Structure 1
Amino acid sequence: MILALLAVGAIGGFLSGMFGVGGGIVMVPLLLWLARMDQRQAAATSLVAIVPTAIVGSILYGVGGQVDWVAALLIGAGTIVGAPIGAWLLRTLPLAWLRWLFIVGLAAAAVYLIFETPERGGSLDLSVGVVVALVGLGLVMGLAAGMFGIGGGIIAVPVLIALFGMGDLLAKGTSLLAMIPASIAGTIPNLRAGLVRLRDGLVVGLAAVLASSGGVAMAFLVPPALASVLFGLLLVFVVAQLSVRAVRLQAREKREREGDGPGEGSE
């Protein structure tokens, strides 16, 4: 189990550094498969590991001059509000809903990343409307962090590139910094609710931190178009695997309900 957790963290950390995401986008499915967690445990445990991963990743991008500190602060303010709401939804929504919402979100991100080529070098011009939009983006990131155990970077990076005109590296660095408060704000209520497998989360986080530097280095080397397509294809693979798993789980849950309930076949 320790080796499996280290592998989950290494993969998630490398992708976190390379693509500016928390790594939960991959760590959650891997925790489902390798650590036999349910969706709630996987999401909550992944979120713990994202905290140190995002801190280290944002520092590395910052050293390279690829963090917009003001934008990250505004987005982070929104995440603080959204993350506890997302954590509450994680505890209350049916697991089937969580599975399919997660899959749909991944599919939408994959389509964008495959068909849109980001630029390198764009910057952000602040205005009142942009400030409000950045806080709103943070709110959505916080909801995603609390509900799905992801840092929200899979949402922030495409949005910062497509709607705010940021270059791809700047979007990734800013995303990592902004997701730190979201991850912390989402983890606190999850800990109180007993959803987090804390030791497992720390093991995953340690491996992720060690691997994130390699991912950041790769981000600066790989052309933005290639990096975008590679990540999009990875998400397509994850969506396919999760969809198969979700269908199987729904079928099994339906059989269990029909077997346990009175008057089976009455419908």
Structure 2
Amino acid sequence: MSITFIALLLMIGYLSAVFGSIVGLGGGIIIIPSLMYLAPTLLDIEISHPVAVGTSMAVLIVTSLSSTLQFRKQKRVDEKSAISFFVTSGLAAMLGASVTALMNTATFELSFGIFMLFVSLLLIFKNKFNTANIHWKQQKTYIDEHGQSFTYGHSHAVAMLIGLLVGFLSGLFGVGGGSLFVPAMIILFRYPPHVATATSMFIIFLSAILGTVSHYWQGNIDITLALILAVGAWFGGITGAKITTRMSSKALLWTLRISFLVIAIRLIIKGILA
């Protein structure tokens, strides 16, 4: 493995964690296509989609842990509500991971492309959604660093249903469930965006552990690649969490939106033509 490729992996791990921490996504959507397309070009080796997914899931543990620790210092993580989402998402992530190996490459690329297209559209139009006018029995209050007070609700039953779906998709595609958790928290429960992002990363951390165990037993993790990516991801997770307190993520969000859209279209076309 060349020094250039190692440096590139470190950068991919770092950037994926920075972006993922800012919007609560994790970094799999960046890591998986990178492994599948860069390795054949730079190393002349093919990395199968199960290995790319499993390796990404393993790195996700480091990304989510580093950012969660920073978010906890900022007192933005709602641990109790996170457990409600995790109860079902953790087991569902293991189920999704087991299904990954059953898909052929073309089916995976097409499915992953459609999923990424959905995520990109969700990010593009998320500001168009209005929060649901539902009065949940459990009400909570969050006061940000500027003294502004937010009131949001919670439902264990609804959270568990959302966790079931998101956890399965997370394990299936090796990505963090924040792309669905965050909008659900904001739209359904009226979570403050910063709390939704931070809480999502904590859920991703818990779910990623179970998903990684499942991928490991199936032999779908390249330990060497995962370790190199994890080094970059650790520092990226810390950086991303700090950025949320210092600047607007608008520019980075648009970078993500455009990147996801381009990658999604490429995957869909490749999956159809395969």
- Give me the TM-score of the superposition, normalised by structure 1: 0.84
Structure 2 vs 1, CA of residues 168 and 228 (structure 1 numbering), >3 Å: closer, same or farther? farther
- The equivalent of 1:93 in structure 2 is 103
**Among 109, 122, 138, the residue aligned to 1:112:** 122
After superposition, the C-alpha distances for 1:88-118 in whole angstroms (9 at most, x for unaligned) are 1112123322222211121122112212328
Structure 2: give runs of 5+ residues left out of the alignment: 41-46, 132-143
Provide the secondary structure at the position in 2 that maps to 1:124.
strand
**Among 13, 22, 29, the residue aligned to 1:25:** 29
Structure 1: give runs of 5+ residues left out of the alignment: 251-267
Aligned partners of 2:92 and 2:164 also within 8 Å = yes
Aligned partners of 1:25 and 1:154 also within 8 Å = no
- The equivalent of 1:12 in structure 2 is 16
After superposition, the C-alpha distances for 1:31-68 in whole angstroms (9 at most, x for unaligned) are 11122422111111000000011011111112112111
The more displaced of 40-49 and 148-157 is 148-157
**Among 54, 66, 88, the residue aligned to 1:56:** 66
Q: Which has the higher helix share?
A: 1
- Superposed, 1:21-170 pairs within 5 Å as 21-36=25-40, 37-117=47-127, 122-126=150-154, 130-170=155-195
Aligned partners of 1:87 and 1:186 also within 8 Å = yes
- The equivalent of 1:265 in structure 2 is none
Deviation of the 1:229 alpha carbon: 3.9
Number of aligned residue pairs: give it: 246
CA RMSD of aligned residues (A): 2.1
Aligned residues: percent identity? Answer: 22
Deviation of the 1:11 alpha carbon: 1.5
Deviation of the 1:210 alpha carbon: 0.9
Aligned partners of 1:28 and 1:43 also within 8 Å = yes
Structure 2 vs 1, CA of residues 44 and 217 (structure 1 numbering), >3 Å: closer, same or farther? same
Q: Distance in 2 between matches of 1:10 and 1:59?
A: 16
Q: Distance in 1 between matches of 2:247 and 2:114?
A: 28
Provide the secondary structure at the position in 1 that maps to 2:163.
helix
**Among 220, 224, 246, the residue aligned to 1:221:** 246
The more displaced of 44-53 and 14-23 is 14-23
Q: Distance in 1 between matches of 2:156 and 2:179?
A: 20
- Give me the TM-score of the superposition, normalised by structure 2: 0.82
